[in-house]
A and B are shown apart, each in its own frame.
Chain A
Amino acid sequence: MNRQGRCTLSPGYFFIVCTLLLVIVIAVHTLWGLEGISQTEFFSDIFMPGSPTKHLSIEQFIFKDIRIPRTIAGLIAGFAFSIAGVLCQGVFQNDLASPSVLGISSGAAFFVILAYVFNFISRSWFFLPFVAFLGALSSLLSLSYFFLSRGRVSMKELLLVGFAISTIFSAGASLGLRHLIPSPIKAGEALSWLLGDISIRPLPMVVAYLPIVILLLIAAISFSRSMDTLSLGDDVAQSLGFEIKGLRIKLIALICLLEATGLSLAGVVPFIGLIVPHIARSFIGPKHRNLIFASGMLGSILLLCADLVGRTVNPPQQIELGVIFSFIGAPFFIYLVLRNRRTW
């Protein structure tokens, strides 16, 4: 326990604990409730090369085509959302900043609703992630236009513009959901995505995201030293030779890409980008190199746990991720506001 009341662990020890936890959570998330997994042929049938899917039992089919993609989707989305949260809090030098303040989630939500309105979703199940990605990027472009068209932009201004963009896209999404999607069934599908859901993701799609998230992680870690310097304040960073504006543009682009990756896999999951970096920071300290990786691992663990709770608390019903994270995240947000009140 250090002077700030934080329980700082050595990075090595922390990563060992996190890895063990992650392995346990993945195992439970993938295997919980499946019958017949004690039989040796359960796994050999699934992974035997050339084994036709139609010969698998329902339990084997569920493991292969639902549980594995669901776990991978949760891992990637949790990782992406949390790293985006760390970068966001670093870029805005604000404990309460998270990617949603830039309007990225709202942009993705708006585009997904539009896709439902124009019935594009039914063309291919791959279309939804693509549309969400485009929506997140459109938020980024709106924000960049504002950023680049002005000479000097304060962080406060940027947060306010992000909030405005978020409001516009949210209004568009609400309009579409309430008035433009004609069928209540389609509206239900769109709402499912808006509430956060990883239960129905095809394996090729989630596997395709693995290299993307690894590249984004490498990019985030490559910025960790600059982020450490940035956390000392703009003046110090400038005096050390950093080109602050350029650095911020790159980091915001990276945040958008990470957030879009998470959104396209899991839909809108509020608060994860806000709470995970705080938990990780309290264990491992503020150095970004460790913090980015630790937040990613913790985010994956939390998201998989939340999905497990949503799936098992009242079967066969399923509670969406967004609902669970709102229950956890909102009180945490209030706690942060109260804790930081004196410093504002």
Chain B
Amino acid sequence: MLTVVVVGSFVPLLLLATRSSETFFTPEHIPEFPSSTRRIVSTSLATDEILWDLLRYHKISHELVGVSYLVDEESMSNIAGLVPASIQRVGHDPEDLTTLKPTHIILASFNNTKLLSIAKSLGVKTLMLDRFDSLEDIKSNIFAVSRFLNLDAHGAESLTQDFNAFRKKQYSPYSAEKTGSSALLVNPDFSTTGGGTVVDEVIRASGLINFGDQVGLTGWQKVSPEFLLKATPDFLLLHKSWQNIQQRPKWLAPLFARKKIIYYQERDIFSASHYVLSAILGLRSRVKPVDPIVRELFDPLRLDFLKAHPLGQLELETLYE
């Protein structure tokens, strides 16, 4: 009897939880909404960066009422210090989402589950972005956000036009296939990236071969320090904290004796928004300082969004003979 009662009470809850919501959308299925005064909330850094530039392009940045708490994190955010304090930071406490009374929420699938369930329970229009694995994913996310907010496509095109220009050129004179130079990214926790990640694409689009992918790694993987010492990439991409000699682990000394090291800050290469292009251009300019692609795309007359946040934001540091 007890079993029947317990199961019986769980079935409606289960049905409620699994029913497809009429307000919850994925990038593939976004209907048209009438535009009115909106309260837009973003819950991940990638969507913060996309929204901030997209809404400013359309001169409706006042509609943005909440961004993720990481937006002010200097080391990670490309728009740190630009988003006014009047726009609330969300994420620490998922219930902040409720107090903001949003009309539109833009979530990332890696947001914490409570945030996802609160967004679902609020019953407001919600877009869930679930792919951040390639430049193409980032581009389609930008268009998805634009469609979700019922904006005309010019804004999204403006943010992505340099993607198109760049993609047409990237495998021309300085392609990885021709230079054959490889790069290995090493995080302080001894993780590196194989194929199938945005960083892998950043490395490849910078005219380099991803050493991690070359040795058969996929996704983010922790590797042994011995592998790092024995690896022989042409370029090492090391975290900026290791630029400080005192913070370098002594037992990795041969790694720091390499000739071609590029130090990165998180935001330099971990971006999952249109700023990823500035990361690629920044890396290319370190690898090939006279790269014509970089020179052309750096032309301030051509750059719309990068004009506002020039590549001076990048902190990639190079150290090689």
Contact = CB atoms under 8 A, between A and B. Distances in A.
A306 to B, nearest CB: 15
Contacts of A36: none
Interface in A307-321: 311, 315-318, 320
B221 A317 contact: yes
Interface residues of B, number: 35
B226 A66 contact: yes
Contacts of A200: 190, 225, 249, 251
Contacts of A184: 76, 266, 270
B6 interface: no
Nearest to A192: B189
B222 A192 contact: yes
Given A185-B189, A202-B249, A202-B251, A316 B224 contact: yes
A318 B189 contact: no
B237 to A, nearest CB: 12
B184 to A, nearest CB: 11
Contacts of B257: 54
Contacts of A142: none
A29 to B, nearest CB: 13
Contacts of A199: 190, 224-225
B239 interface: yes
B21 to A, nearest CB: 26
A54 B256 CA distance: 12
A65 interface: yes
Contact of B73 (A33, A125, A182, A318): A182
B266 A185 contact: yes
B215 interface: yes
Contact of A182 (B75, B191, B246): B75
Nearest to A189: B189
A188 interface: yes
A66 B225 contact: yes
Given A62-B229, A185-B189, A311 B224 contact: yes
Contacts of B75: 182-183
A13 B244 CA distance: 53
Interface string B52-82: 0000000000000000001001011000000
Q: Which of B222, B223, B239, B249 neighbours the largest number of chain A CB atoms within 10 Å of its CB?
A: B222
A65 B251 contact: yes
Nearest to A63: B226
A330 B185 CA distance: 35
Nearest to B240: A185
Contact of A188 (B187, B225, B253): B187
A122 B241 contact: yes
A188 B247 contact: no
A179 interface: yes
Given A182-B70, A188-B189, A318 B223 contact: yes
B264 to A, nearest CB: 10
Contact of A58 (B190, B247, B254): B254
A150 to B, nearest CB: 37
B250 interface: yes
Contact of B188 (A58, A185, A317): A185
B222 A317 contact: yes
18 contacts: A61-B229, A125-B249, A179-B92, A184-B266, A184-B270, A185-B187, A186-B188, A192-B222, A199-B190, A202-B249, A316-B221, A316-B224, A316-B226, A316-B227, A317-B223, A318-B190, A318-B224, A320-B222
Given A66-B226, A182-B76, A316-B221, 7 more contacts: A182-B70, A184-B76, A188-B187, A188-B191, A192-B222, A315-B224, A317-B217
